[in-house]
Amino acid sequence: MVIEEYDNTDIITIKIKINGKNYNSKGEDYFGTFQKIKDILLKDNIGIKFYGSMENVYPSPMMRTSYNAYILENGKQALWKT
């Protein structure tokens, strides 16, 4: 598996190559771009493990362009993960 990330413009690009097949995702921020690539991979029954792929992880509204995210659980203070 080869993973490439490009953020040298206003658009974030993630390219993943698995067993000779290419998967690409583009977006304006890391969180949304990772969500897109996760959904694309799931169509081929490929799951990836990272905090951003969890259903209860959300970016801070002011930090959408960073690697930081919050893990939310009912009744508990949000945990900040990088």
Find tokens 């919050």 and name the residue.
Answer: 70
- pTM score, two decimals? 0.63
Give the residue extent of every domain in the chain.
Answer: 2-81
Q: Say how many C-beta atoms besides its own lie within 10 A of residue 58's C-beta.
A: 15
Q: Of the ranges 2-6, 14-18, 62-66, which is most confident?
A: 14-18
pLDDT of residue 21: 92
pLDDT per residue as tens digits for the range 64-74: 666 667 777 77
From CA 25, how far away is CA 5, in angstroms rounded? 10
pLDDT at 1 over 80: no
The more confident residue out of 1 and 41 is: 41
Q: How far is CA 20 from CA 6, 36, 70, in A?
A: 20, 20, 34
Q: Of the ranges 16-30, 44-58, 64-78, which is most confident?
A: 16-30
